[in-house]
Each structure stands twice: as structure tokens, then as C-alpha cells.
Chain A
Amino acid sequence: MPVDKFANMEEKLWILEDLNMMYIRQIALSLQDSDIQKKIDHEIRMRDGACKLLAACSQRDQALEAAKSLQTCSTRIMAYMSELQRMKEAQVMQKVTRRSSDAGPMDDRLPCKGKVAISDLRIPLMWKDTEYFKNKGELHRCAVFCLLQLGGEIFDTDMVIVDRTLTDICFDNTIVFTDASPGFELRVELYSCCSEDDYSAGSTPRKLASKLSSSLGRSAGKKLRAAMEPGPCSPVSNGGASPLLLPVPSVPGPKYHLLAHTTLSLSHVQDSFRTHDLTISGNEECSYWLPLYGSMCCRLAAQPHCMTQQMMSGCLKVKQCGGDPQSWTKVFAVLKGTSLFCYHRQEDVEANIEPAFTIAVNKETRIRASEKDPHSKVQNICISNQYGGEEVTHTLTTDSREDTHRWMEAFWQHFYDMSQWKQCCDDLMKIELPSPRKPAPVTPKQGSLYHEMVIESSDDLSSTVSDILARRLQELELRSQLGTSPTWMSVFDENNPKSAGRPRPCTSRLSGHSPCTPHRLPRSPVSPHRCPQTGLLSSDASLTSDSDSHCSTSPCSHHHGWPEPPSNFSLLSSSPSRLRPRTLSLDAKLSTLRGRGYGGGGTFQCPCQPPPSSLLAPIPISSRSPRSQRSTQTTLSCSSSTSSNSSSNSEGSHSPESSEGAPFSRPSPARRSLRNLRARLDPRNWLQSQV
């Protein structure tokens, strides 16, 4: 019976697993290295926990996370095990050599260690254009993460869900390895796992599963089968070692497969972003396949300890060559990075006072011990540098022969370190540790502009939008901190008795330097396109004119009694209960959401931007009509509607930025994207954005 055999196999695997764990623990014990032992125990516990979680959890994303931890733990255990074996070997070899010969002094110089940081990992994808743009077929999603290994340290990045709306896989984490030698090898592995909901087929008995796969469509069945058992693309989920050494626990759940890998070393380290090639394993038939472009972009920086730490310090006497032979300056010298810092006193170092002078110690420096000075009993050390075309030599002397020897040793070690770390010692590369801050709000996935519009979908779209507006109205009210509306606002209240009692959130969002200049036109004489708008100006003036041309309104404006608008624009009521819900076109939605007001100090500028100072005076209605007519000839333009400004602004001209005093607040992404859409559509503008 196949099912029995399956169970038997499972049992055998469990037994093997336990044996392996015991073996590992024994080695650790015998080495009497408690450090590694603790780490292994910790990882084994984590691994057990991940297995249990995997078996217990029901939601797909939890399962993916648990599977990721399982993968990481397994890899870590493998790494520790190999390190253990190496240490055991070394111990045995040492015993052998000690017996055979006298332990001589270690002559080999070891280079200093350093910190290596990898950040901003980005892996571009190469979807077929039909897949990406036309969005045909079901969305094939994969969960991916990267495993980074250097020496004994293994880190994983966060998991990212990838589907065909993404052009690149981006990992935001910065991973810092603290103990790397210059000959390091940083192995980057990309694991992926198919993330379809239907394929939680781990628990399906095989017979049923094969029946299902044959009854489903060809491609779906293929995927199902591949997800259930490792097909031609067998999972190498145990770090590449033989499966028997650390068998993968047969827990139902998602399994990650190695999709691509690469190895980085010192030659790839640079202070800027570089592209590296990836070796891709797996092919299109695998369920976890993603069309990778074949390269990876990242920033790999290294900080050797010789650049960041004090390699040597002590008291010295320094004399500049060519100076008075008797003028020795007594200093406290610190060797760090590419210089020898000479301070007047030792306390200056901690006090962060500038050193008295600095002698460069870099690849072009030459240091040698001078002949025995007849005046003193110790040898001097001469440091020569080339400054411009001249050679400048400093002579150092110490109090005793041992000190001189120690300094020379330190210099030799320093030069050796610099020769080993090569380009990392030219300049100190910056490594940023990600600052702990509260988790950023979930950013919408990369995609088209419309993804940024936060409109929750529901059955009745029109009522939803009204609800959203109503809710936002309340939000705005609550958030308002600014003063009451200007007195002339009341003029416009009379036209709309219905909303007389309604609070006007937009006015409360006025920024300090420019008031709200409502733009109202008499109803009848002008074409129905003219709608009143209460927009917020300041540097957002550009945007209000757009609502002008579309007669879509912000809730601030009082449109309840307004005549029926033309077909493609509709009015949005700010009191949904009173008017029947309307279907809104996308344009209308965009403009209403935008017209509702912005944070102060808008960042959006147009060439036709008038200087804000002239916005302060309220404008009588009559003077507006001609201007508004002119400005609305370009229906989608973001030309200014602030008719307070004279026609000195020619449209299309590039006027200097005028919101110098604006605070740097930036409106929400939804509003910004709507604004951008409007402005972008006018080809006559050359947009500028403040960042």
C-alpha cells in the first residue's frame, strides 16, 4: 500500500533526524566550545518551533513565513555543523603537529577583520510584455526571500510576494556581517516558493492528488504536481548538503526552492551600486519559477577594522625633517585609518579635540627605521609622504627600543592590512545601520498610478465614494488646527442654505500664508462648465483650476443646488444622505478626491505659478470670469486659477519657484498622484517637484 510506505519512510526520516541532532550535539560537546553549542541548540529549538508552527498554521502567509524561518534555521545548522567539523579537524591536526615538532611562533601575519554590509538588493525581472501589460490569465504569485551567508553568519531578508505587476524584486534590509576577513565570500541565495492558494496540497493523499491533477487542466495540474512533490527541480532546501544528513522534515506546507545564487567577494566591494550576475537554477517548468533578468544590483561596502579602530597608540616625539634638529614635539599619537593623528595630550583623544597635526599613512607612504642616531640610543622611524611634488619626512622617536619595535610592527601590520583590503582602505565607506523606527505604513505595491487611489471596493461604488468623502470630511475636521474661515467666506454661504450649517473642512486646512480664495461664478450666465470651487491656494493653486474646469467639487464647496452637470462630470455631494448616489467617472473621482484640500506648503509647482504674496486679497467675483475663461480653455492644464495675479504670467513660461517659505510637508500619496495625473497630462508644462 503506497500510503503505508509513505508513513514508513516518514518514520525512518524522523529517526535519522534525531540521530543527526545527537551527532551534532556530541561533536559540540567534545569540542568544549560552548559558544557554538549554544548557537546550535538555539537553532535546533527554533527549527522545531518553526516545524510546529508550520503544521499548525492555516493562513498562507503565516505558513510562508514559518517555512522561511525553517529554511534559515536549517541553513544555519548546516553552517554551524561544518564549522564544528572544521574546528574538530583543526584540533586534531594541532595535536598531531604539536607532537611532531616544537610549536614555533606563528610567522604568518593575519590581516585585520572588518565589517561587510550589503544593502539595497534589487533583482530585476523580465516578464513577457503580454503578461505585464495586458494582465492576462491568473496572477501567478511567488514568495521570495534572500539568504546571505558569510563565514559563519547567515541572515535572511524579509519575504516579498512577487507577481507580474512587479518589475523588480527589492529587499530593503541592510545586512551587516561583523567579522569578515578580506578573503571573504558572501553567498547570496534567492529562494522562492509558489504562493497559490489552491496548492496547499501537502496533506492531500497521493492517490487523490494524482486524480486531481489529471482532472484539472494541463498547466494547473502540472503546477499542482510540482508543488506537491519535488519534480525535476528538486528542493535543495537543506543548504546543498546530502539529504540524509539533515533531512527536511516532512511537514505539510510550502517549501522554498533555490532559484538563483551568486557569490560576492572583495573585488565586488565598492562605495556605489553595482550589478552582479546571478546563476539561475530551475527552469520554466518549476512551480517556483520567476523570469529573472539574470543580474542583481546591490551596494556592497566594507569597513576594515584598520580604518575604524585605533590600531596603535602611544607617546612619541616627532620632528619634521628640515626643521631644527633639536625641536622634538612630544605628542600622543594614534594610528587609525589612513593617518597618524598626533594630539598634544592623551586626553584630547577622548575629548574629540582636533589633533595638533596629522601625518598621512597610506599606500604611498614609506616608513623606515633610520640609522642609529648618535645623540640617542634608540632608532628613529622616518615617515615619508609625497605632498604635491615634494617629499615631506617626519621623524619619530620613542623612549625605548621596545616601543620603537612595537611601532614598527604596528606600521607593518597596518600596511599589510591595507594591501589585503585594497580598495576598502582608500576611503572610509559608510555603512548605515537601519534606525529602529516604527514600521512604515504598508506602501502600496508598485504598479500603475491607480493603485494609489485608496478607494475600497464594494458593491455600490457610488455610495462608497460618498461614504469615503463623508468620512474624510470628518477626518479633516478633526485634524484641523487652523483658525476659522475668513469672514468673506460667509458670502458664499448664502447661496447654499443647505450647507450653511455644515462645517467647511477645507478652510480649516489653510496654510498660514495664504487664505482660501474661493472662486465662484454666477450660475446662469456662464456655461455649465463653470463651477464654484473652494480650492486651497498657496502653491496648490494649480490644482484648483482643474476642479474649476471639471465642475467637480470639493466638499467644501456648496453645490447642493447646482444644476445638472454635463454628462461626463458629476457632482459629488458632501451630504450623501440628501442626494441620491451618483455614479462617478474616474475623472470625477480623481478631481474630487484632489479638490478636497491639501496640506500646507504644497510641493507642486507649475511654471505659471504666481507668487503667493498676491493671493492675500479676496477677489471680487466679477473680475474672475474673463480670467477663468482664459484659464479654463486648457481643460486639463494646471495653469493657475488665482486670478488675483495679473496676466504677467504667461502660460508655459518658466517662472522661478515661489514657495520659499512653504513648509516641507507633502500631501498624501493619493492626492499627490491625482495632482500629478492632471498636471502631467498637459504637455505644455515642465513640472517641478520638491523633494
Chain B
Amino acid sequence: MAFIPGQPVTAVVQRIEIQKLRQGDNLILGFSIGGGIDQDPGQNPFSEDKTDKGIYVTRITPGGPADAAGLMMGDKIMQVNGWDMTMVTHDQARRTLTKKKEDVVRLLVTRKSLEEAVKQSMSYPRQ
């Protein structure tokens, strides 16, 4: 999932809609993120390309809203509610996900298995 500066980024994405869960005064999503343009990308265990500074899902709380919506560990988040996540700092990403006024976040995520699936379906001839 490397990108070439100046070229548009293309990826096979899946749309995931997560309903935030209210716990007391907080709205939680039930997952953790890592990465960002201000972080060291070499320490990202989920990225294929170790220069990728995108936002990745590092942990999913089992049974939480993200788990129910189909988010998986290792997914790279490309967009949140229309806001781009491929070129943001870690804090910006966290803030975009945790806006108090929003009950729902619509993510566009990409993962390796999606690309594989598309490749496979294109290689096999249709019966």
C-alpha cells in the first residue's frame, strides 16, 4: 500500500459503519489505532510497506461496536466520515474518530485480503 507522492492513491476499500456506544459521558468505538505522519512507521507491525504512515487498527475490543461492524485488526483506515486519514497526525486521527457530536462513523478501510480477493475474482473466468 505504498504511495507515490503526487500520484493519486488507489485502493480496494470496504465501507464499515460503526455506531458509537455510549458509556457514561463518552462515546466509544471499541478499537485502537496506531500510526500517523508524526509517528515512526517502522514500528508498525501491520503495514506491508514500512514507510507507510497511515492509520492502522491495532486492536479490536471483542464484542465492541467496531467488532460488530466488521472492522479487523490490521486494517488501514483511509477515510472517516469523508475526512482523509492517509496523511494525518495521530492526534488528528483520534480526534476525527472521537467527535462528540457524531454517533456514527463511516470508515473506508483497506486490507490485504481485499486486494487478494479482487485479484482472485478477476483471474478466474466466470462460469
By a beta-carbon cutoff of 8 Å, the part of chain A in contact with chain B is 120, 122, 172, 271-273, 297-299, 389, 430, 432, 435, 440, 443, 449, 605, 607, 652, 654, 657, 663-666, 673, 676, 680, 683-691
| Residue numbers in B under 8 Å from A673 (CB-CB) | 91
B119 at the interface (CB under 8 A from A): no
Identity of the chain B residue whose Cβ is nearest the Cβ of A656 in the assembled complex: B59
Identity of the chain B residue whose Cβ is nearest the Cβ of A669 in the assembled complex: B95
| Residue numbers in A under 8 Å from B97 (CB-CB) | 691
Q: Is B31 touching A680 in the complex (CB atoms < 8 A)?
A: no
Chain B CB within 10 Å, residue with most, of A172, A271, A449, A676: A676
Identity of the chain B residue whose Cβ is nearest the Cβ of A389 in the assembled complex: B127
Residue among B38, B39, B43, B81 making CB contact with A273, cutoff 8 Å:
B81
| Residue numbers in B under 8 Å from A657 (CB-CB) | 32, 58-59
| Residue numbers in A under 8 Å from B103 (CB-CB) | 432, 435
Q: Is B23 touching A688 in the complex (CB atoms < 8 A)?
A: no
Q: A689 with B90: in contact, given A273-B106, A657-B32, A666-B98 (CB under 8 Å)? A: yes
Q: Is B81 touching A689 in the complex (CB atoms < 8 A)?
A: no
Q: Is A691 touching B28 in the complex (CB atoms < 8 A)?
A: yes
Q: Is A691 touching B98 in the complex (CB atoms < 8 A)?
A: yes
Residue among B31, B36, B59 making CB contact with A687, cutoff 8 Å:
B36
Q: Is B28 touching A664 in the complex (CB atoms < 8 A)?
A: yes
Q: What's the dominant secondary structure at chain A's contact region?
A: loop
Q: Return the CB mask of B61-93 against A: 1 if under 8 Å, else 0.
A: 000000000000000000101110000011100
Q: Is A689 touching B33 in the complex (CB atoms < 8 A)?
A: yes
| Residue numbers in A under 8 Å from B29 (CB-CB) | 691
Pick 24 A–B contacts, CB within 8 A, sort by A.
Answer: A120-B82, A122-B82, A122-B83, A271-B15, A272-B108, A389-B127, A430-B17, A432-B103, A432-B104, A435-B103, A440-B101, A607-B43, A652-B43, A654-B43, A663-B23, A664-B28, A665-B26, A676-B90, A680-B91, A684-B40, A686-B35, A686-B39, A689-B32, A689-B90
- Bound CA span A36–B102, Å: 35
Q: Is B26 touching A120 in the complex (CB atoms < 8 A)?
A: no
Q: Is B39 touching A685 in the complex (CB atoms < 8 A)?
A: yes
| Residue numbers in B under 8 Å from A652 (CB-CB) | 43
Residue among A120, A430, A666, A691 making CB contact with B32, cutoff 8 Å:
A691
Q: Is A688 touching B82 in the complex (CB atoms < 8 A)?
A: no
- Bound CA span A687–B35, Å: 7
Chain B CB within 10 Å, residue with most, of A432, A652, A686, A691: A691
The 6 A-B residue pairs whose C-beta atoms are closest, nearest first, are A273-B82, A686-B43, A688-B34, A664-B28, A691-B97, A689-B94
Question: Which residues 17-31 of B have a CB within 8 angstroms of A?
Answer: 17, 23-26, 28-29, 31
B110 at the interface (CB under 8 A from A): no
By a beta-carbon cutoff of 8 Å, the part of chain B in contact with chain A is 15, 17, 23-26, 28-29, 31-36, 38-40, 43-45, 58-59, 79, 81-83, 89-91, 94, 97-98, 100-104, 106, 108, 127
Identity of the chain A residue whose Cβ is nearest the Cβ of B62 in the assembled complex: A660
Identity of the chain A residue whose Cβ is nearest the Cβ of B26 in the assembled complex: A666
Residue among B15, B94, B101 making CB contact with A691, cutoff 8 Å:
B94
- Bound CA span A683–B40, Å: 6
Q: Is A680 touching B26 in the complex (CB atoms < 8 A)?
A: no
Q: Is A687 touching B106 in the complex (CB atoms < 8 A)?
A: no
Q: A273 with B104: in contact, given A605-B32, A680-B38, A689-B33 (CB under 8 Å)? A: no
Q: How close is B30's CB to chain A, nearest CB, in angstroms?
A: 8
Identity of the chain A residue whose Cβ is nearest the Cβ of B20 in the assembled complex: A691
- Bound CA span A288–B79, Å: 32
Q: Is B32 touching A690 in the complex (CB atoms < 8 A)?
A: yes
- Bound CA span A324–B13, Å: 46
Q: How close is A82's CB to chain B, nearest CB, in angstroms?
A: 33
- Bound CA span A652–B28, Å: 28
Given contacts A686-B35, A688-B58, 14 further A-B contacts (CB under 8 A): A172-B101, A299-B106, A607-B43, A664-B23, A664-B26, A685-B40, A686-B39, A687-B34, A687-B36, A688-B32, A689-B94, A691-B33, A691-B94, A691-B97
| Residue numbers in B under 8 Å from A690 (CB-CB) | 31-32, 59
Q: How close is A564's CB to chain B, nearest CB, in angstroms?
A: 34
Q: How close is A99's CB to chain B, nearest CB, in angstroms?
A: 55
- Bound CA span A685–B35, Å: 10
| Residue numbers in A under 8 Å from B36 (CB-CB) | 687
Q: How close is A490's CB to chain B, nearest CB, in angstroms?
A: 32
